[in-house]
Amino acid sequence: MEPLLKWRARTRPNHERGIVWLTGVLLLAGFMLIYSIRTQAWTLTLLIFLCAIVYYLFGLRQEHIQKEISIWEEGVQLDSEYFSWSSLTGFWFQRYPDCTQLHIEHSEPWRYDLVIQTGPVSTANIRKLLAQYIPEQTNRTEQLLDRLSRICKI
């Protein structure tokens, strides 16, 4: 049995960080470090170092992973993980200048949305197919943490 629709794409946009971004981050971190030392706010100093280490480790990981999504009559499969239609509540698109992301929401509030870029597939085709099984959530937008990470390019 073949899936109704299938494609491979990134899960998140690739952020380009230039010299202006790097200079800004280093100046901000340097200012915060000097401030924390001068005011003897050692917890803040420790927090700055921990954030720098975590950010460095995130930089070492592989480039954003590409995943394969398959839409079946019974549900959605993202790589090897399968979700039946009854466990999904809706879908929506988030448009960016360089890509469009598809978000598919779970019925369990503690689970993350399934997120994948639409890649070479048109949003009209995806919308037409998914709307047969789950409703489109046209009132949804990106969450605050997603917006912050996009603005900060992390």
In 3-state terms the chain splits into helix, strand, coil percentages (rounded to 5) of 40, 25, 35
φ, ψ dihedrals at 127, nearest 5°: -60, -45
- For 46, the domain range is 19-60
Strands 5-10 and 66-71, bridge-based pairing: antiparallel
Same domain, 117 and 77: yes
User: Is residue 11 a part of any domain in this protein?
Assistant: no
Look at the chain and report how many structural domains it folds into. Answer: 2
Q: Residue 73: give its domain's CATH number.
A: 2.30.29
For residues 145 and 77, state if they share a domain.
yes
pLDDT tens-digit series, residues 83-134: 999 999 999 999 888 889 999 999 888 888 888 899 889 999 999 999 999 9
Residue 47 falls within a domain, yes or no?
yes
pLDDT digits (tens, 9 = 90+) for 54-76: 878 876 666 567 889 999 999 99
* 49 and 73 fall within a common domain: no
Q: pTM for the full model?
A: 0.74
73 and 142 belong to one structural domain: yes
| β-pairing verdict for 100-106 and 88-95 | antiparallel
